[in-house]
Amino acid sequence: MIQKQEIVELVNVISNSNKILLLTHDFPDGDAVGSLYSFSGYLSSLGKDYRFCFSNFDEELWNELLPVNSKNRLKVEDITAYGADLLVVLDCSNPERMGPLQGQVSLYKTVVNVDHHGDNNFFGALNIVKEAAATGEVVYNIYKELGWQMDAVTAKATMTAILADTGRFQYVNTHPELFAIVAKIVDICGMEEYFKIVQGLYEEVTLSKLQLLGKAIANVEFFGNGVAFSYIEDNATLTEGLIDQIRAIKGVKVAVLARRVDNMVKISFRSKDKTVSVRELAGKFGGGGHPGASGATLPLTDLTKQIAEIRKIVKEYSENF
Ligand SMILES: [Mn+2]
């Protein structure tokens, strides 16, 4: 539940600010992009001056699915010149998850942290961090407390955040209230937009992404007790959602996918079983996230050796699982 005091403080910091910068985590997913666009819709309704910036943003996907006013988008190199007096970070458990933008957090006197990650380290001056399926759900509840009525564009962005982080209501973080929330959102933005989002997220997969999936599937290895491990050796930036296909394999409780992304090795962890958390496993690699979905990033040194090492740790984990 959002506390009255949190709403009072939020309203306060916003009304005392002239220029607001919105940021989210590196490689923003549907919840990151959706909740950020949603909150920018709220700021817009107040007539506030705001900008946002992304790092490692999937232009093709999001510019088509959620076209927003791009005049409010800043390039990384233009952030300083904008001179914001308030930073709002959405869907990000700690500054390290912001990749190239992580240095931003310490530059602002007032930072608002709006999130739903259980391992959030409360890096803001105001932290609205709630147990929720998506940051989209948290912002929805903020508006409810504020008594603010979303417009259609904001509603669509909020719905995208919720659909993306619940895998359109299939992950274990889905709860009954979300159906009611999305029903209310559809009243505002229309069912046509619902189908656009679901199809855009799940039924418009590019061929190159499916080919990467082919490689990931070919490399799947099963360890005891339902742990599936796979990797992609190609430099694969846009791999969002691929792990869900491994997770969907019959008998799999935990799925792990390692792949190269430029000069990093990224590892994703998913659990299909509500009683099994993958956050601790991600923690072995310096990562974190949610019980059902976590991630870790390592600097790239020797990919073959690193994959072998990750495989070894996952195999050991599966033996005590
Ligand atoms: Mn999220």
Q: Between 244 and 162, whose confidence is greater? A: 162
Q: Strands 19-23 and 86-90: what pairing? A: parallel
CA of 116 to the centre of ligand 1 (A): 7
CA of 288 to the centre of ligand 1 (A): 13
| Cβ atoms < 10 Å from Cβ of 74 | 19
- Together in a domain, 99 and 136: yes
Q: Cα(288)–Cα(172) distance, rounded to whole angstroms?
A: 17
Q: Cα(21)–Cα(84) distance, rounded to whole angstroms?
A: 6
- Together in a domain, 238 and 100: no
CATH number for position 292? 3.10.310.30
What would the pLDDT profile of 269-284 be if each residue is shown by its tens digit? Answer: 999 988 899 999 999 9
- Together in a domain, 274 and 289: yes
CA of 68 to the centre of ligand 1 (A): 20
- Together in a domain, 84 and 30: yes
Taking the model in full, what pTM does it have?
0.88
Quote the strand ranges of 71-160, DSSP E.
Answer: 86-90, 111-115, 126-129
CA of 305 to the centre of ligand 1 (A): 31
CA of 302 to the centre of ligand 1 (A): 31
CA of 133 to the centre of ligand 1 (A): 7
Torsion over CA of 202, 27, 166 and 45, rounded to 10 degrees?
A: -100
How many domains in the chain? 2
CA of 28 to the centre of ligand 1 (A): 9
What would the pLDDT profile of 300-310 be if each residue is shown by its tens digit? Answer: 999 999 999 99
Q: What is the mean pLDDT of the chain?
A: 95
- Together in a domain, 40 and 85: yes
- Together in a domain, 220 and 198: no
pLDDT for 16: 97
Last residue of a domain, one of 168, 183, 202: 202
CA of 256 to the centre of ligand 1 (A): 19
- Residue from 260, 267, 268, 269 nearest 301 by CA: 260
CA of 39 to the centre of ligand 1 (A): 14
Per-residue pLDDT band at 225 (split at 50, 70, 90): confident
As given in the structure block, the two tokens for residue 151 are 């417009």
CA of 24 to the centre of ligand 1 (A): 10
pLDDT for 43: 98
Compute the radius of gyration of the chain from its Cα atoms: 19
Last residue of a domain, one of 152, 180, 202: 202
CB-CB contact of 71 with 47 (8 Å): no
- As a whole number, mean pLDDT of residues 295-300 equals 95
- Together in a domain, 95 and 190: yes
- Residue from 157, 152, 153, 122 nearest 137 by CA: 157
- Together in a domain, 154 and 12: yes
Q: Which domain holds residue 267?
A: 209-319
CA of 279 to the centre of ligand 1 (A): 14
- Together in a domain, 88 and 153: yes
Per-residue pLDDT band at 34 (split at 50, 70, 90): very high
CATH number for position 66? 3.90.1640.10
CA of 243 to the centre of ligand 1 (A): 16
- Together in a domain, 218 and 87: no
pLDDT for 70: 85
pLDDT for 224: 86
Last residue of a domain, one of 202, 223, 253: 202
Q: How far is CA 283 from CA 113, 182, 211, 290, in A?
A: 22, 33, 30, 11
Per-residue pLDDT band at 290 (split at 50, 70, 90): confident
- Together in a domain, 81 and 185: yes
CA of 171 to the centre of ligand 1 (A): 13
As given in the structure block, the two tokens for residue 121 are 């380290």
What lies within 8 Å, CB to CB, of 262 at 6+ separation is: 235, 237, 300
- Together in a domain, 146 and 230: no
Burial call 146-176: b when 16+ CB within 10 Å, e when fewer: eeeebeebbbbbbbbbbbbbbbeeebbbbee
CA of 258 to the centre of ligand 1 (A): 20
CA of 49 to the centre of ligand 1 (A): 25
CA of 149 to the centre of ligand 1 (A): 22
